[in-house]
Amino acid sequence: MEVVKLGITTQTWPDLVGYAVVDAVNIIRQDNPNITEVRVLPPDGVPSPLQDGAIRVCIYNDIVNGQAVVVNPAPYIG
């Protein structure tokens, strides 16, 4: 996946659904280096309350063929 910088901070990453979680985290951190927290959740997980000043990305995942893979909802800031 090619990331094009337009001076706009990405808020969601729908193209990363299906990627390995490790790869998705690396892509997201390159795209938005201001992220202070990455929260990886199971498909039915609920993120904890956001701490003041934190910029958090939530990534939902499931295990596919023994590998943690990004699932919907797509990774998002929140």
Query: To the nearest whole percent, how much of the chain has pLDDT over 90?
Result: 87
Angle at 4 between CA 38 and CA 6, to 5 degrees: 95
List pLDDT tens digits, range 13-67: 999 999 999 999 999 999 999 999 999 999 999 999 999 999 999 999 999 999 9
Pairing of strands 37-41, 56-64: parallel
Instruction: Record the pTM.
Output: 0.85
Residue 3: band (very low, low, confident or very high) from pLDDT cuts 50, 70, 90: very low
60 touches 17 (CB < 8 A): no
How far apart are alpha carbons 60 and 62 in whole angstroms? 7
How far apart are alpha carbons 41 and 49 in whole angstroms? 14
Backbone angles phi, psi at 12, to 5 degrees: -140, 155
List pLDDT tens digits, range 7-26: 556 799 999 999 999 999 99
Domains located in the chain, CATH noted: 14-44+52-77 (3.30.10.10)
